[in-house]
Structure 1
């Protein structure tokens, strides 16, 4: 094999030992380092799953990619490219992992592991448990919303998992997260805002259709129908093509019909307490 055919993900020392590449070529040809000692063809799309593929080349037997990292294979690809890769290991496997991994010691049954893209990942239901147990509640619920929406897991199974999990590690966090799951949410930011509201005692309705005299004016991310208050998250897609024009026209129709609209961006999500305060203040205003 020549360097021209060195594609995909590979361990650098192995490629050098096999004579496929030299150390100098490894440094100078633009190969992307995923974690220490593991590289990828620069033409591959760099996302969290690619980093997981790199870590998978180093995993000892009995371990698996899990938690928020495994969720990328189950309908919730929300982990960022540089987020640590979550690895689960049983007690009898001693492995700390390279920098860029988070290794958790736990009970791990072989039946809870499946292979996806040549990567050992935890099953959807096991992933759901670990996401709820390991992640902050807003992050966890966003992933679980997406997994249920994608059909990877069913909400009744998640609810049954809570009932069957007495005494299991992380059960308190799981019991907090599962009741908040709502697959109507269509984005992670929307889920996070909704969770922040619910935990503050507010009850927004996800993906609410605003109708006047039977005419659909638009669907909003979150709504307080009685107060005629809508919450809209505007991600990067809002500025693609003519989307911004369509969104602005829809919001103008809502305002003309007597609705108030709070428009949020990624910057607002850095202060969810402040977002909830804004919503509460609008709800307190007379219509």
Structure 2
């Protein structure tokens, strides 16, 4: 195991106390150790937080999302655990919450991230498994707690896409938790969400357009190459106007990416598409220009 609860591991004979104090383990929380050399990313920090709190804890928020396979957490996201009682000491990088969770809200994951029946709880936890909030509950919690509307939609898009759930599932959880803090904005978040979104920055690009009052674009629109009988997928599109809008991330860098994109965009332009391509810098620091570009492009041509 790469993460250990020290006292439990010593009692089980996995390691000795002197080994835990040696060069092969790093103490990250009281009585909680990570093997030296293991990157302290959100997944590892979350598992460590779960070991620290104990088997009655449930990973939630971005911690749950990470363990569920969602790769969209902010770089500074803390480990987050729902605990049955308050009064635990606060530690930097760890958020403890008291909240009401129903059985359907909690999944048991084994060390490989696969869901297991609750009947196997003791064995799975002993072998490195964890409790996490379900995808629906995770999206619900992030939707009501993320600061700002845009970040909330980004979170719901990411969980819905990775876990193959409908954004509307967030509202089903809200119905079971009437009166909970933050739920009044959930209908707006769900209305703006789209499970087809391919990345957080694609979501942000879409929201730049929609929140400025432009028509809602189609997400992940397929364009068929008739000659090759293959299709490309546009991040965003206005099919009737043959306008495509794409976010250019790191995957487009490098010689291979440039060559692939050159052929792709040549084919699209030849097929009559007008393509608009934007970077992270454009989305975060120049949204007004994006809106102006697309507003002009969508304007009906003047009659002559």
Q: Pick the TM interval, shorter chain.
A: 0.7 to 0.9
1:176 aligns with 2:174: no
- The CA RMSD measured in Å over matched residues stands at 3.4
The two structures have a TM-score, normalised by structure 1, of 0.78
Once the 2 structures are TM-superposed, how far is the Cα of residue 32 of structure 1 from its aligned partner?
Answer: 5.5
For residues 58-207 of structure 1, the aligned pairs below 5 Å read: 58-60=52-54, 62-79=56-73, 82-90=76-84, 92-109=85-102, 111-116=104-109, 117=111, 118-135=129-146, 136-163=148-175, 165-202=177-214, 203-207=216-220
Once the 2 structures are TM-superposed, how far is the Cα of residue 169 of structure 1 from its aligned partner?
Answer: 2.1
SS in 2 for 1:184: coil
Contact in 1 for aligned 2:156/2:167 (Cα 8 Å): no
For residues 8-87 of structure 1, the aligned pairs below 5 Å read: 8-11=2-5, 18-21=16-19, 23=21, 25-26=22-23, 31=25, 34=28, 38-44=32-38, 46-60=40-54, 62-79=56-73, 82-87=76-81
**Shift in CA distance, 213/78, structure 1 to aligned 2, threshold 3 Å:** closer
SS in 2 for 1:190: helix
Q: Cα deviation per residue 1:3-59 (whole Å; 9 max; x = unaligned)? A: xxxx51135688899334264x34xx5x56655764422454553111101111211
Once the 2 structures are TM-superposed, how far is the Cα of residue 130 of structure 1 from its aligned partner?
Answer: 0.3
| Partner residue in 2 for 1:283 | 295
Contact in 1 for aligned 2:78/2:93 (Cα 8 Å): yes
| Partner residue in 1 for 2:247 | 233
Contact in 2 for aligned 1:15/1:21 (Cα 8 Å): no
SS in 2 for 1:242: helix
Contact in 1 for aligned 2:4/2:34 (Cα 8 Å): yes
SS in 2 for 1:21: helix
Contact in 2 for aligned 1:229/1:283 (Cα 8 Å): no
- Between the aligned partners of 2:17 and 2:193, the Cα distance in structure 1 is 51
The two structures have a TM-score, normalised by structure 2, of 0.74
Once the 2 structures are TM-superposed, how far is the Cα of residue 62 of structure 1 from its aligned partner?
Answer: 4.1
Once the 2 structures are TM-superposed, how far is the Cα of residue 260 of structure 1 from its aligned partner?
Answer: 3.1
- Between the aligned partners of 1:199 and 1:212, the Cα distance in structure 2 is 32
Specify which of 238, 262, 266 is matched with residue 280 of structure 2.
266
SS in 2 for 1:207: strand
- Between the aligned partners of 1:154 and 1:200, the Cα distance in structure 2 is 25
Contact in 2 for aligned 1:62/1:110 (Cα 8 Å): no
Q: Unaligned 5+ residue runs, structure 2?
A: 112-128
SS in 1 for 2:80: strand
Contact in 1 for aligned 2:50/2:57 (Cα 8 Å): no
Q: Unaligned 5+ residue runs, structure 1?
A: 1-6
Contact in 1 for aligned 2:60/2:132 (Cα 8 Å): yes
**Shift in CA distance, 14/138, structure 1 to aligned 2, threshold 3 Å:** same
- Between the aligned partners of 1:46 and 1:278, the Cα distance in structure 2 is 37
Q: Give the paired residue count.
A: 274
Once the 2 structures are TM-superposed, how far is the Cα of residue 256 of structure 1 from its aligned partner?
Answer: 3.9
1:219 aligns with 2:242: no
